[in-house]
Every structure is written in structure tokens, then in C-alpha cells.
Chains A and B, each alone.
Chain A
């Protein structure tokens, strides 16, 4: 089952002004593949994720089409949406502790979710399944952990529980919105390994959203780079990592902190002048921060065009 995001724009209207959060975004996710979505905070990554589940706040104006198995999610009825949410498309959120209801034990939440989509299961069967799942995500002594409340787990363990919750419905597409952002590096690696292992076992496709290029490079097949609501570069991981063509992608790589103090820096984005989100600059979205920007960049906006194996939205792609 594949996902096709087709010319999706998301905007908000506030006091008569329009704030374009995501503009004309298109991408596909093939079954079994892992697609990474990178970009800085506020670039529209999370909105994209929410729009795929049609969970955007009511104020959001969405145009375009999001096709799941040939059906437009944006035009679906609520009962149909509920059947897809969780069961076919799962969501893992950034902060695992906040993703769990603090007043219920994790056993309660697991069993609720399992029985929501498998009504035929008895509470006892659902409990057995919950224990199975906890084992699968690497939680020791799962039977007794069922009676734990979320706050009794560490963040890493919590994220494992959230993953177990999502897995309980065996979605075919998993949207992981910064799944490792609040975890320390070793736990981060464990969680990423777990996601990869699960993907192989259940043959899921994953949309991995992150601001961390290291995470993306470690896991994804295909990478989308977002800047201020636009996809500026899109291509196979190897292309993007080894020969980034958009100045913004290069700047992102240059911004990775390194323990090699003398590492040469290829491109450095200028420190951004604060721009009001309501201002739609003419020309390329990145021109205000691009060290190579010319007059053409400031007046005309580039579109995504094939450059070798990847697509780049830049008049003067590098490399």
C-alpha cells in the first residue's frame, strides 16, 4: 500500500492574513521503504505528518490530495478515517511521556488499543498480546510492567511502549515524528535499531521526520529536505548525503556539530533575519540566507527539477 502526497498546501488564516505553512508539497512513499523528512524547526514537518492522518487543527486550510490506496484521505468521512488511523497508518510522536495518558497504566492503554481494532479479542487475549508486544520492543519482565504508569518509565522505555502501542495494530505505514529527539544518543541508536528491525519484520513503510541528519542518514532510503514549507531537495539517501546540491542541504550538513575541530565548513547559511511567517518573499524561499543568492534568486522562484538522481529547487545547484 503506498501513500501519494500530491500538491499539498497547508495554510492558516489569522486576522485576514494568510500564513503559508506548507506549499505545494508532493512525494510518494512506496511499500517497505523509509522516507526521511528533514528540516529545521517550523519548516512544516509536523504539519505534513498530521495532514497525512487528517489530524490538522480545524483552522488549517488544506488543498491538494493525499492518496492512501487510491483514496483521498482529505475527503474521507470520520468513521472511515478512524478505521485507517492506527490500523493502517500509525503515528509516533516526539515526546513519548506526553504521548501516553498519565492516569492509566500502560497495560490499560495497550489493551484498549488492541481491542479497539480487534473487537473479537477477550481482555485476557489482549493482555497476552500486550505482553508479547512489550517483549518484542525490548521491555524486560513485560507481564509485571503492564501495571506501571507512564511516569514510572524512563523516556527511552516510554518510547518503546509507544512503539508497542503503534505496533499493536500492525500499521502498514508508520509516521515517526522526531521519535528520538528527546532521547540521549545511546538510547536514540537503540530506538532506531528497533524501528528498523520492526520494519523488516512487519514490512512497514516509514516516514521518519527529524531535524537530525545523522538519524536520517542512518535509516532512510529516500530523503526530502524541507525549508519554510517547501521541499527544496529530494533524492536517494546516498545522493543527498554524499553530494547535496541545494545550498540549504549543504548548510544543514555543515551545521552538524563535529568533534573534529578543524573540519572545513563547506557552506554556512547566514544567520536568519527574523522574517514574519506572513511575509511571502518573492523568489527562492532560501534567498535571504543563501550565500550564493543572485538577483534572479530574489525575483523568481525555482521549482523542483531533476538534477541527476535527485530533484533540486535551485537555479544554481552545487556540485
Chain B
């Protein structure tokens, strides 16, 4: 597949995070150590033993970042899968149904879009006990509308294409038309937006954790590591820089891959 160098670098970067987060857990069995306070205590500056230094409790920042990568990537992935499935289903139904159902569904989509998503997430997290699953479900349930609109738009234009009429004239059922002949055409842009959505989901998770409403300590996530670092901003800047760079890298990487993919679709 022909993709620009930047996209390959981004894919490599995501792969590195993925492999790293798995490596510390299984072959290296170092995950536990990232939670273990060092007896020396206090934030230690970067050294050979701790490349990115340690945090205020003496825990290795690199290990905690990789451990957080596991969480961030899986939260991003699962919530995007959820959002994409909902979006696909709603878009397909809406685009293929009679006009009054379509209108009803679309007004509902407009309504959800008009909700101030982040405050909704905040209030849900405050009302329910903050947990990783809550984060996933809440992000997934509030980010499917773009996909739904996109899918609906392509279904609307696809169902007027001659090959659909001809397929109908061949006696195909509506269900078969929808799933076999319309759905595959809508997938490419959906995958691009899923890729971009993943970066967004990871950001949202970081913000929630930063506010203390996402992943709860001592479980490390990039967001709550940033929160920890706040009080040591001047003494131990590495505590903020390491997770911050992780967030920037991963979000950038998903965006670059998504863009490259989109370029490629448009070339075809």
C-alpha cells in the first residue's frame, strides 16, 4: 500500500506504544514496578536507571507511561468501535428508511449533537462512580453522530445509483441490497473518521483523568499522571513532559494516518 512516509512513521509510533505496553506487562513483568513506590521517594531526575525520571512517589515515569498507553489505546479503540457501530447502524437505517423515519432519526441526531457533550460526560462521571468502562461507554455514546450523518448521506446518494435499481430488478431483497451492495461503499470514509475519532477519544479520556473523573489512581493513565505532575511543575518537569508527549504523539499519529488514508481513498 502506498502511503506517505509520515503515515508510516505514525503507524510505527502507535505500534511502538502498543508493543511497549504489552512488553512491560508480560515478557518483562515490569508493570507492577510502575506502581511500586521507590524507597528513596521524591521525584528523581532522569538517569540511566529511570530514563524519564520518577514521580513524587519514586515510580518510574517511562513504565507508567507505557502502562498508561495500554489503557489509553484500548479506551480509544473500544470507544471508537462503539461509536462507529452506532453511527453505521443509525446512518444505514436512516438513509434507507422512508422519509418520515429518516426525518425523525435525523432530528434525534441533531438533538444529541446539540448537547454540550463534555458537560454531559462530566455530569455522568460525577453521578456514577468513575470507572474505565464508564469512560469508554460515555465517549462511545457521545461521538457517533458524525459517522451517522456521513453514512446516511452516502446511503442516500448510493440508493439512487443505477446498479441498485438494477439489483432490485434482479429480485434482491432490501436487506441484501443494504448490507451487500450499499454498506461496503460507505466503509472507507467511516474508517477514516474512526481513525480521527480515536485521537479524539484518547484526548477526552486524558482530560477526564486529568480532572480526576476518569481512570482512578493508582492505575496510571496519561491524564492522571499529568494531574499528579501539577504540583511538581517546577521541581520535576519530566513528570509532565513524558505523559504530555505521549498524548501529543498518539493523537498526532492517528490524525496523520487518518489523513493519509483519506488521501488514498480520494485517489481511487
Interface residues of A (CB under 8 A from B): 50, 53, 55, 58, 82-87, 90-91, 93-95, 98-103, 112-113, 116-117, 162, 165-166, 169
Contacts of B168 in A (CB 8 A): 55, 85
Q: Which of A55, A100, A103, A117 contacts B165 (CB 8 A)?
A: A55
Q: Are B163 and A85 in contact (CB under 8 A)?
A: no
Given known pairs A93-B162, A95-B162, the reply for A101 and B169 (CB within 8 Å) is no
Q: Are B181 and A116 in contact (CB under 8 A)?
A: no
Question: How distant is the Cα of A28 from the Cα of B115 in the complex, in angstroms?
Answer: 60
Given known pairs A58-B98, A112-B180, the reply for A99 and B162 (CB within 8 Å) is yes
Contacts of B184 in A (CB 8 A): 103
Q: Are B181 and A101 in contact (CB under 8 A)?
A: yes
Binary CB contact string for chain B from 172 to 190 against chain A (1 if under 8 A, 0 otherwise)? 1100000011001100000
Q: Are B169 and A85 in contact (CB under 8 A)?
A: yes
Q: How large is the interface on B (under 10, 10 to 19, 20 to 34, 35 or more residues)?
A: 10 to 19
Contacts of B218 in A (CB 8 A): none
Question: How distant is the Cα of A50 from the Cα of B162 in the complex, in angstroms?
Answer: 12
Q: Which of B162, B169, B171, B185 contacts A116 (CB 8 A)?
A: B171
CB-CB nearest in chain A for B167 = A101
Determine how close the nearest CB of chain B comes to the CB of A65; give it in whole angstroms.
20
Interface residues of B (CB under 8 A from A): 98, 161-163, 165-173, 180-181, 184-185
- Interface CB pairs A-B, < 8 A, 13: A55-B165, A55-B168, A58-B98, A85-B170, A85-B171, A86-B171, A91-B166, A93-B162, A98-B161, A98-B163, A101-B167, A116-B171, A116-B172
Determine how close the nearest CB of chain B comes to the CB of A122; give it in whole angstroms.
19
CB-CB nearest in chain A for B98 = A58
Q: Are A82 and B173 in contact (CB under 8 A)?
A: yes
CB-CB nearest in chain B for A52 = B169
Determine how close the nearest CB of chain A comes to the CB of B126; give it in whole angstroms.
46
CB-CB nearest in chain A for B181 = A101
Q: Which of A83, A91, A98, A100 contacts B169 (CB 8 A)?
A: A91
Q: Are B165 and A83 in contact (CB under 8 A)?
A: no
Question: How distant is the Cα of A95 from the Cα of B165 in the complex, in angstroms?
Answer: 12
Q: Are A87 and B171 in contact (CB under 8 A)?
A: yes
Question: How distant is the Cα of A254 from the Cα of B24 in the complex, in angstroms?
Answer: 85
Question: How distant is the Cα of A98 from the Cα of B158 in the complex, in angstroms?
Answer: 11
Q: Which of B166, B171, B173 contacts A93 (CB 8 A)?
A: B166
Contacts of A82 in B (CB 8 A): 171-173
Contacts of B167 in A (CB 8 A): 101
Contacts of B169 in A (CB 8 A): 53, 55, 85-86, 90-91
Q: Which interface residue of B163, B168, B169, B181 has the most chain A CB atoms within 10 A?
A: B169
Contacts of A55 in B (CB 8 A): 165, 168-169
Q: Are B163 and A169 in contact (CB under 8 A)?
A: no
CB-CB nearest in chain A for B162 = A98
Determine how close the nearest CB of chain A comes to the CB of B83; give it in whole angstroms.
24
Question: How distant is the Cα of A83 from the Cα of B170 in the complex, in angstroms?
Answer: 9
Question: How distant is the Cα of A85 from the Cα of B169 in the complex, in angstroms?
Answer: 5
CB-CB nearest in chain B for A58 = B98
CB-CB nearest in chain A for B166 = A99
